[in-house]
Amino acid sequence: MEVVKVENVTRTYKVGNTETQALRGVSLTIENGEFTALVGPSGSGKTTLLQLIGCLDQPTSGHVTINGKDVSTLNRNQRADMRRASIGFVFQFFALIPTLTAYENIEMPLLLAGVNGTERRNRVMELLDIVDLKDHAHHRPDQLSGGQQQRVAIVRALASKPALLLADEPTANLDTPNGKVVMETMVRLNKATGVTFVFATHDPRVISYARRVVTLRDGLIADGQVTPGA
């Protein structure tokens, strides 16, 4: 079953008098359980596409459908609700809330979703265990390494059991060993939970983890998609 359907999507940014066409008509379908890399040079539109799929932004034209629901025309609150219920994000920067501990960061989406106390605690500890950070539960982000922070960010994105996890260059700020751990964690979680992963990258070492690769170039999907390892 398809989780994401992108149809003829364009996105034009207007800054002052200059218009930038970040996407010029992209169509793409992502099936349930995929582990897909979005690749392409810097400026090719990867982030823009992830933001549109993730209901953070709205297309200038075209449609984005998540689990059969057209999200292109949702209002602000509906998009927030959609993100909370169905989508997890991992960013290039380690997007943890600096005032909250690892535990509290993971707990946040569960609180927003209204998950009750005991269930919440169990779920957070389970998630911390998955990424081997149980001992660091009560550490603040500045007491964690970049790799540890990114692992916390990944399980936070999975906390409310979303249909889709979107990661924008998740390893770009990590050294090779840490990047490897993060990618292996994502692969493992994709297999264990069946959650669909889509990640943007232009790092060749990372692309090899993908089961499907979608290449963007100048706001369009380039021909000749390669699917290594499949």
Ligand X SMILES: Nc1ncnc2c1ncn2[C@@H]1O[C@H](COP(=O)(O)OP(=O)(O)O)[C@@H](O)[C@H]1O
Of the two residues 97 and 222, which places its CB atom closer to another protein in the complex?
A: 97
Q: How far is the CB of 50 from ligand X (least distance, A)?
A: 8
Under rule CB under 6 A, which residues in 48-77 are in contact with ligand X? 48
The number of C-alpha atoms within 13 Å of 204 and in the hemisphere containing its C-beta is 0
Q: How far is the CB of 128 from Mg ion (least distance, A)?
A: 29
Under rule CB under 5 A, which residues in 10-49 are in contact with Mg ion? 47
Under rule CB under 8 A, which residues in 73-92 are in contact with another protein? 76-77, 80-85, 88-89, 91-92
Q: How far is the CB of 43 from Mg ion (least distance, A)?
A: 8
Residue 229, Ramachandran bin (φ over 0: left; ψ between -120 and 50: alpha; else beta): left
Which residue in the set 99, 135, 204, 224 belongs to the binding site for another protein (CB under 8 A)? Answer: 99
189 neighbors 154 (Cβ within 8 angstroms): yes
E-assigned strand segments in the chain:
2-15, 18-31, 35-39, 61-66, 69-70, 87-90, 164-168, 196-201, 212-217, 220-221
Question: What are the residues binding Mg ion (CB under 5 A)?
Answer: 47
